Structures are given as structure tokens and as C-alpha cells.
Structure 1
């Protein structure tokens, strides 16, 4: 496989997502699948109320169709598509309850974790079946050291924490027009090259498909957004990204590749801890992208800043970890 195949795959996914926009957005609007905006958020966000959500369907469809067309059918492809579809369906259910059932919090925390646990157990079983011929040890390397942690069957617990943690970190990043779609496209682009470098060609093609689909979605999601991806898209992206890291054996490397997502999640954890412990807030609002808005940055300035940070961290990680 050459780099031309990656470009062709990304281009095809972009075209599908871009063509789906004029079809899906009117349907979502007709079904009244509009976004509700939380009152405690920045006031200017209230103008976004009613914007069609659940547009992540466009991303998932574009990725699945393109991957099926261009990638060689293998266990890795099945695992990646299942992770994308399973976490996307969890997000879709969450969105559906919020939008149609008018229950603003969507799935209850226990329900969401249970569904994610079921998906993780299935993925663990698929990994065990795939790796058993090579005597799997479920070992995880720590970057820049010679330390290797062999989790054995406890890798299931690690995988659960990894999938739930990163899918929710990615979900927290989806708060501004184009923020997540652009940031995730950059991270998947870096991983496409990383997987290619390590001869994980099917994983590389999947990442290229995700890049194309996200940029195609960005056509409609850039400021001012005509559609939001919702949890349907953000959880699918997070689940897929975590599994890409697993299949390229760069689990802890994902902390560097997806550093922006880590910072977003940490800002929420720090904010909650500080408020519950000391009764004070560290940030004006969390996740941290809202903090920058409230200190005077325009929405577009925040998005561009985060894209730049994502590019530096993702391609910096690519340069450091590909040696």
C-alpha cells in the first residue's frame, strides 16, 4: 500500500460526508432533532438552540462505507468498525433521549457505563481471538522507557477505563463549532501516518477514512454551524480513536497524540475537585475551551488555537514515537 491509497480513501470519505450533508441536515431539521443549550453556558451560545444535532451519523456512515470499500477485510477492520458503530449507537441513544424524549441529561450514568462495558467486553473478546495465535500477553509499553506492563486478563479492566475515559474526553471537547471535528481530524491524520509507518495498513486506511469524513462534516460544522455531531459522533470518534491506539500498541502514546482531549478532561476533573473541596473554581468554566471564551477570546479564536495545539501535540508525538 502506498500513500496514494490513503489520499484516495480520505477523498472518498470526504465526498460521502459532504454529499450526505444536504440530505441529512434537512431530515434532522424536519424531525426537529434540534440541540438544546445548557443555561449555565456562555450566553451567546443560546443562539445555537435548535441547530440540528445527531449529525455524527454522517461521519459514521462515511467512515464505514469507505473502510469497507478500500480496506482489506481483516480482524482489525472489524474491530475498528465495531468500536465506531457500538459507541456511535450509545451516543445516538443518548442524543435520542435528549432530543426526542426531552430528557436533557440523556442516558443515566449507570446506563451509559453498562452499555460501554458490554461493548468493551465484546471488543476484548475480539482482541483475544485476533491475538491468540501470537500468544497474546496484553502488554502495554510506556513511551520513552523500557517499562512494559503485562496486564494479562486484567487488560479487560484497562481497556474499559481506556475506552470510557477517552470516549468521554473526546465528548467533552465537542463544545464549539468545528472544535472537535477539526481537532479529531488532525489527530487521526497523525495516527494514519503512525500506523502506516508501523505497517498497520488497514488501521492507517481507517484513520484516513476518519480524516476525510471529519473534514467533510466540517464543511457544515464550521462556525456558524449548520449541524452538530452530538454524542452520536463524539462517542463514535472517541471509541474509534482509543481502539486505533490499542491496535497500534500505542495506548499510552495516545496521551500525547490526543493531548488536547486529555487537557479538556483534566480541566473538568480539576474544576469539580476544587469546587467540591475548597468551594472555589479554578477556571471560569469547564471544559477549558469555555474558559477561554469567557476571558474574551472569540469562538473562532478558541477553535483555531485548539487546532494548532492539536497539530503540535499529534505530529510532535508522531515524530517522537516513530523513531
Structure 2
């Protein structure tokens, strides 16, 4: 399979089609108005960038299916169908700002599509159980929750020009490398198509952006990341389960902290705020472009770490992941991801150090 050609086709389609989608968004008045309370941009910006990403991906997929040696699969086709439902749901939300429950219904329907075509976790391999633990219907429930949860995760980091699209491209790049190492050609092919679609979109979306991907884009990227990451997890080991979680570390971390932060404030989890990871970097004085590049770098480190985990044993992987989680949490508290006052782990460590000094 010629991966270079597979990458170039969606790049070209995305570069060509994005300006037309941009004009369409202005014509339909599907735009994002400046809002100092929760948004960073200072001028009216068109939405619907997700439509350009989806079209470039789906057209490239169909072209490859008809004119190359690649053969489509039921799971690949389910991404096209489920992705279309997600893009339509997100586009409607961009246009008329539908209620969260209505948006969730669209996501749940889309999540059922790959499950219907056979995507689900079947067996969990445990260290001391030779044949693994068959999970049956429980595996379907886990699959469903994973897809719906991850569909929303990318949406949380879609707050700066080029941030969500760049982080997603890096994540798809990591999935591409993992797929080559594990010999999953379907995953490799689909990942590189999505990388191409995003690389063609980024020139219009990177700071200063000329179009936003909107919910149609962020939800679609979260959805495809969720489905593709599960392609290697039909038989789960502890290490294999860690790989996609680490690859998707940035959106998962930001989602997790946003849920805790809003719970502490006593507001609904779905309510927006201006305390996400990228907002905190801006608060520390970093520029828009520098903040995006820093988060790119963090995402790249996470992705490299995920690949390395494949070559380590279970105990070492769990130990290193534990250390990384502690360091990440300390960093999150340092930049005030919850609030400038709520820093439980930092306070605990200071108290522990003082107690140790007194004993000396």
C-alpha cells in the first residue's frame, strides 16, 4: 500500500474544499460570535470546518476503495455512516445550538453503528487467567461508553485556533505507528487518511484561523479516534488498554479535569467555562500560537510514550504510567486547572515533606 499517495489525496481534497465550506458557512450565517466570557477570538468566525474534514476523508476512502488494492471493511464503512450522523448532529448544533441531551442522542445513535457491525471488546486478558475473561454484553457496554465519551473529549480542547485539529492529527499519527507495529493495515490506512484530511484543513485553521471546525469537526474527530483506538482492543490486555488512553491523553485529561472542576463549582458538567488547559496557558502569559505549540509538544510526548509502552512488561508499564499521572496532576494543579486555591495533591506533598523534616 502506498501510504504517501494515501496521505496526499485527502490533503489535496481538504485544501480545495475548505474555502468553499467557509463561504457556505458565511452564506448560511453559521458563525461563531466573539464572547469574552468563554471564547478567545475577537471577530466573527465561520463554523462547519468539520464538514470539510469529513468530505475529504470520506471521498479519499471511497477513491482508495475503488482505485487501489485497499478493500473497505464493515468497520471502515461504519465510520463513514456513524461519522455522517455525528457531522450532521454537530452541524445542527453549530447552526442553532441544540440542547445537550439532543446532541447526546445523535452521538449514541452513531456509537451503535460500529457496534452493530461487530466492534466491541470481547475478552480481557488478565495476568493469571490463561484464557482471559470473556465479558460478553458487558464489553458492548464498555465499547458504547468509550465511543460516546471520547466523541465529546476532543470538543473540550477545541478552544484555540488549530489546537484540536493538530492534537488529533498527532493522535492519529500515533495510531498509525501502532497499527504498523501490530500489523493492522485497516487501522493504518484509515489513520493516514484522517491525518491527510487534517493537514489539508490546518492551513485554514491554524492561528490566525479563517474557519473553525465547530462541533461538526471536534465531535467527528473524537468519534473516529474512539472507534479506531478500539480496533486493537477486541481482546484487551492491560498494556494494550493503556496505549489508546495514553495516545488520547490530552483530550482525556482535559475532559476529566473539567468534570471535576465543574463539580467543585456546583455547575452542570456540560456548562462551558474558561479554565481548560489552553486557557490556563494563556493565563500564565503564553501567546496564542505558543500555547498551541506547547500542547502539540505535550501530545507528541504522550504519543511517543504510548508506542514505548508496547515494548515494556505490564508491571513496568503500570509503574511508569502511575508516575506520569502523578506528575501530570501536579502540573495541572500548578497551572490552576481546578482553581488557584484547590491543589490537594500539592498541599499533601508539602505537608508530607514538612512532617519528614520535623522527624529529622
TM-score (norm: length of structure 2): 0.76
Give deviations 1:186-210, integer Å, cap 9, x for gaps.
1101111211222221221110010
Please state how far the C-alpha of 1:137 moved relative to its aligned partner: 6.7
Task: State the partner residue of 1:304.
Answer: 293
Q: Distance in 1 between matches of 2:84 and 2:170?
A: 21
Task: State the partner residue of 2:24.
Answer: 27
The answer to whether the aligner puts 1:191 opposite 2:185 as a matched pair is no
Q: How many residues align?
A: 294
Match of 1:41 among 38, 49, 54: 38
Aligned residues of 1:90 and 1:112 also touching (Cα < 8 A): yes
Greater than 6 Å deviation, 4+ residue runs: none
The answer to whether the aligner puts 1:123 opposite 2:114 as a matched pair is yes
Q: Distance in 1 between matches of 2:135 and 2:34?
A: 42
Q: Distance in 2 between matches of 1:23 and 1:166?
A: 29
The answer to whether the aligner puts 1:14 opposite 2:11 as a matched pair is yes
Q: Distance in 2 between matches of 1:146 and 1:78?
A: 37
Q: Distance in 1 between matches of 2:121 and 2:45?
A: 47
Give deviations 1:253-296, integer Å, cap 9, x for gaps.
2210110111211221121122239xxxxxx9422211111221
Please state how far the C-alpha of 1:85 moved relative to its aligned partner: 2.2
Q: Distance in 2 between matches of 1:38 and 1:160?
A: 34
Q: Distance in 1 between matches of 2:125 and 2:5?
A: 33
Please state how far the C-alpha of 1:313 moved relative to its aligned partner: 0.5
Q: Which of 1 and 2 has greater Rg?
A: 2
Unaligned runs of 5+ in 1: 98-105, 129-135, 278-283
Task: State the partner residue of 1:288.
Answer: 277
Q: Distance in 1 between matches of 2:123 and 2:300?
A: 28
Match of 2:57 among 56, 60, 63: 63
TM-score (norm: length of structure 1): 0.84
Match of 1:53 among 47, 50, 55: 47
Q: Distance in 2 between matches of 1:204 and 1:141?
A: 24
Q: Distance in 2 between matches of 1:151 and 1:179?
A: 37
Unaligned runs of 5+ in 2: 65-69, 234-239, 268-272, 313-360
Give the SS at the match of 1:47.
coil
The alignment yields a C-alpha RMSD, in angstroms, of 2.3
Q: Which has the higher contact order (CA 8 A, sep 6+)?
A: 1
Cα distance change, pair 263–307 in 1 and its aligned pair in 2 (3 A): same
Please list, as runs of the form range in 1=range in 2, the aligned pairs for 1:1-323 lying within 5 A after superposition.
Answer: 1=1, 5-41=2-38, 45-48=40-43, 50-70=44-64, 71-97=70-96, 106-127=97-118, 138-140=122-124, 150-249=134-233, 250-276=240-266, 285-321=274-310
Q: Distance in 2 between matches of 1:94 and 1:62?
A: 21
Q: Distance in 2 between matches of 1:93 and 1:149?
A: 42
Task: State the partner residue of 1:131.
Answer: none
Cα distance change, pair 89–149 in 1 and its aligned pair in 2 (3 A): farther
Task: State the partner residue of 1:102.
Answer: none
Please state how far the C-alpha of 1:217 moved relative to its aligned partner: 0.5
Q: Distance in 2 between matches of 1:264 and 1:288?
A: 6
Cα distance change, pair 137–219 in 1 and its aligned pair in 2 (3 A): closer
Aligned residues of 1:137 and 1:150 also touching (Cα < 8 A): no
